[in-house]
Copies of this chain bind each other. A is one copy, B any other.
Amino acid sequence: MKWSKAYIFTLKDSPSDAEIPSHKLLVRAGMIRKIGQGVHTYGPLMLRAIRKFENIVREELEKSGCIELLMPIVQPKELWEETDRWNKMGKGLLKFKNRLNQDWCLGATHEEVITDFVRKDIKSYRDLPIQLFQIATKYRDEIRPRFGLMRGREFIMKDAYSFDMDKEQALLAYQKMFDSYNRIFQRLGADFRVVNADSGNIGGDQSQEFHILAESGEDHLLVSEDGSFAANVEVCPASDEDENIKLSDEEAPLEVFDTPGLKTIADLAKALKKSEKQLVKTMFYSASKDPQKDLKPVGILLRGSDEVNPIKLKNLLDLNDEPLMLNEKEVRSVTGANPGSCGPIGLNIPIYMDKGVANLKNYTVGANKDDKHYKNVNHPRDFKTERVVDIRLAKEGDLVPNGKGKLKSYRGIEVGHIFYLGTVYSKAMNASFLDKNGKSQSLEMGCYGIGISRTVQAVIEQNHDKDGMIWPVAIAPYVVHICLLDPKDEKVSALANQLYDELNKLGIDCLLDDRDERPGVKFKDADLLGMPLRVILGGRGVANGEVELVERKTGEKRSVALNSMTSVISDWWRQQGI
C-alpha cells in the first residue's frame, strides 16, 4: 500500500482516557477509534493485523481438524433458558426486546447456540468426535470498559467447541486444543504463560488460561519457579508457612479494650505493636443475588495482612457476579458499629473463616461497639464459624500448592481460555447420541476461546517503546515500511516504487511512505506504526549506491547496496519463518 492511497492519519497526542501504552499508541496510529464506551472502529491498519492473527488461528485449528462455521450475535431467550443462563449470566449478558416484544440477547458466548446446532445433527457415536469454531463479533455489557480493546464491550473472538462420546475422548480434544493454542501463541511471537483458571459462568471443572505477559495486565498470575505450577490468582490455593504453625498457647480470658480512633488494621497493628499477620479482620459481604431486595450479610475472617479473593468468595456463596462488600451503613445495621470496630462475636450471620486464621489463638477482633475491640479471642470458644475455607488471595512468596518452592508473581493479559465442560450443557439441552451399545448418552463437551482483538492489542502492550509500537512479523499490518525521503527525486522515487513492486510480488506486505513530507515526520510516523523492517531510500544514499535497513525491534541498522536490496530483504523475510 502506498501512503498516498491509504487511509492513515496519525495523532501527536494520546486521548485523555487512555491509560496504558498500547491503548495510547493504537489510537495515535489511527488503528482504533472509540465510538462509545467499550466500542471501537478498527481502522484499516488494525484490520490487517486482526485478519493476520485470525488466519494464524484458523490455520492452526484447521490443522487439528476443527471446522469453521458462523453463528449469530443476536440470540433468542428460549435457547438461554434451556441452561438457565438467561438468569445466571449476570448483567454482562445484554438483553433486549425486539419490535414484537420478544426477548433476545447479544451473544456473549455461544455454548447454547452451538449445542442447539449439533444436537439436531448428531445421532450416533459414529458422528463423533466433532470440533467446530467461529471467528465472530461478540458483546459483553462490561460495567466499566477500559484500556481500549482490552476490556471492550464489543470484541472479536474465536470460539471453538468440542463434542465427544466420553470423557476420555473429550480430554483428548481438550489436549489437542491446548496444543493448538500453544502453536498459535508461539507463531504470534508473544511471551505467554498458561495458568489454571476459574471456570466462571461457563461452568465445567477444568480450565486453563493463556496470558500474554505485560506489566499493565489486569490478571495476576502466580507461577512456581520450576514451571510445574501456574495459576491465576483468582483460583490459586493460598498457603504460607505461618498458617501452618500451631500455637500451643493457653486460651486467655476474653477482654474488651478501648481503641479510640483506631479504624484500620494498620492503626491497630501500630498501637498494639503487633504485625498485621497477627491480627484478625472481619469483612462483610452480601451473599444475595439481588442485594437491593435482600441483603443476606455474611462475615469473612482473615488475618490483617490478607485480602479476600472475590472469585473464591463468589464460588463459595454460589453467586453469578462477584459479591458486593457492605457499605458503612449496612455494616452498622448488621453489627451496630463502624467497619473499623467490627468482629464475629455475638453476630447472628454466617461467618466464614479463612484457613490462615484457623490456627491463631488469643487474637484481637472488633467488639461491634465503636472504638472497642476484644483481645484474647479464641474460636470456637467465643464465636461459631460456618466453615474454615481458603478464601484469601495467594501472593508472591506463598508456598506452591504442589509443595515445590515458592510462588512468583506476574501480570498477564488473558487472551485464551480453554474449558473441559463435561455434560453440563448437553444434559440441560438434551444433546445426546446413541453409543456403541445403542444407549442414549449426553455429549461430552469442551469450549475454547481466544480474544482476537484483545490479543492484537496485548501484543503491542508487550512490544512497544517510547516512540511507538513494535509489531511482530507474524501480524504486522505491513512487514516492510519504505521511507521514500525524496519523492520528487525521480530516480529515488523510481527505485522505491521498484522495490515496493518487487517485495509485494514476493508476498512481502509493503507500505511505501510516498508523501511529500520531511524525513523527520516520516521517521516519527514509522516509529509510531512500528512495522518490523524499515527501508530508508533517500537522495544521498542512492548517490552512494546504498539503502539503509532498520529493524524496529532492535534498532539495528545496516547499509545495503542498492542492487541487492530486494534479495537482502527477502532473505531477512525468509529468516522470520512466517
Docked Cα-Cα span, A40 to B141, in Å, equals 23
Say how far A282's CB is from chain B's closest CB, in angstroms: 31
Q: Which residues of B contact A295 (CB under 8 A)?
A: none
A30 at the interface (CB under 8 A from B): yes
Would you call A68 and B94 a contact (CB within 8 A)? no
Residue of B nearest to A78 (CB): B36
Would you call A41 and B99 a contact (CB within 8 A)? no
Copies in the complex: 2
Which residue from B6, B69, B91 sits with its C-beta under 8 Å from A7? B69
> Chain A interface residue count: which class?
35 or more
Max chain B Cβ within 10 angstroms of own Cβ: one of A41, A76, A132: A41
What string of 1s and 0s marks CB contacts (under 8 Å) between A62-96 and chain B? 00010111111111101100000000000100101
Docked Cα-Cα span, A72 to B155, in Å, equals 9
What string of 1s and 0s marks CB contacts (under 8 Å) between A37-60 and chain B? 101111110110010000000000
A117 at the interface (CB under 8 A from B): yes
Q: Which residues of B contact A226 (CB under 8 A)?
A: none
A35-B113, A96-B96 are contacts. A106–B74 as well, Cβ < 8 Å? yes
Q: Which residues of B contact A143 (CB under 8 A)?
A: 99-100
Docked Cα-Cα span, A153 to B104, in Å, equals 12
Q: Which residues of B contact A44 (CB under 8 A)?
A: 67-69, 132
Q: Which residues of B contact A257 (CB under 8 A)?
A: none
Would you call A76 and B35 a contact (CB within 8 A)? yes
What string of 1s and 0s marks CB contacts (under 8 Å) between A114-135 and chain B? 0011001100000000101000
A478 at the interface (CB under 8 A from B): no
Docked Cα-Cα span, A75 to B139, in Å, equals 12
Would you call B67 and A42 a contact (CB within 8 A)? no
Would you call B96 and A94 a contact (CB within 8 A)? yes
**Looking at chain A's contact residues, is the secondary structure mostly helix, strand, loop, or mixed?**
mixed
Q: Which residues of B contact A6 (CB under 8 A)?
A: 67
Max chain B Cβ within 10 angstroms of own Cβ: one of A40, A74, A106, A141: A74
Q: Which residues of B contact A7 (CB under 8 A)?
A: 67, 69, 121, 130, 132
A44-B69, A143-B100 are contacts. A74–B113 as well, Cβ < 8 Å? no
A137 at the interface (CB under 8 A from B): yes
Which residue from B76, B94, B97, B102 sits with its C-beta under 8 Å from A98? B94
Docked Cα-Cα span, A120 to B30, in Å, equals 10
Would you call A39 and B153 a contact (CB within 8 A)? no
Docked Cα-Cα span, A69 to B35, in Å, equals 14
Q: Which residues of B contact A41 (CB under 8 A)?
A: 69-72, 113, 117
Q: Which residues of B contact A234 (CB under 8 A)?
A: none
Would you call B141 and A98 a contact (CB within 8 A)? yes
Would you call B9 and A75 a contact (CB within 8 A)? no
Q: Which residues of B contact A444 (CB under 8 A)?
A: none
Q: Which residues of B contact A98 (CB under 8 A)?
A: 94, 141, 153
Say how far A278's CB is from chain B's closest CB, in angstroms: 42
- List A residues at the B interface (Cβ < 8 Å): 5-7, 9, 30, 33, 35-37, 39-44, 46-47, 50, 65, 67-76, 78-79, 91, 94, 96-100, 102, 104, 106, 113, 116-117, 120-121, 130, 132, 136-137, 139, 141, 143, 153-154
20 contacts between A and B (CB under 8 A): A6-B67, A7-B130, A33-B120, A35-B116, A36-B74, A36-B79, A37-B102, A39-B74, A40-B72, A41-B70, A42-B69, A42-B71, A43-B69, A73-B137, A74-B106, A94-B96, A96-B96, A100-B143, A136-B137, A137-B137
Give the top 3 A-B pairs by smallest Cβ distance, nearest first: A96-B96, A36-B76, A9-B121
| Given A39-B75, A94-B99: 18 more A-B contacts, CB < 8 Å | A7-B130, A9-B120, A33-B117, A35-B116, A36-B72, A36-B75, A36-B79, A41-B71, A41-B113, A42-B71, A43-B69, A44-B68, A47-B68, A72-B154, A91-B99, A96-B97, A98-B141, A99-B141
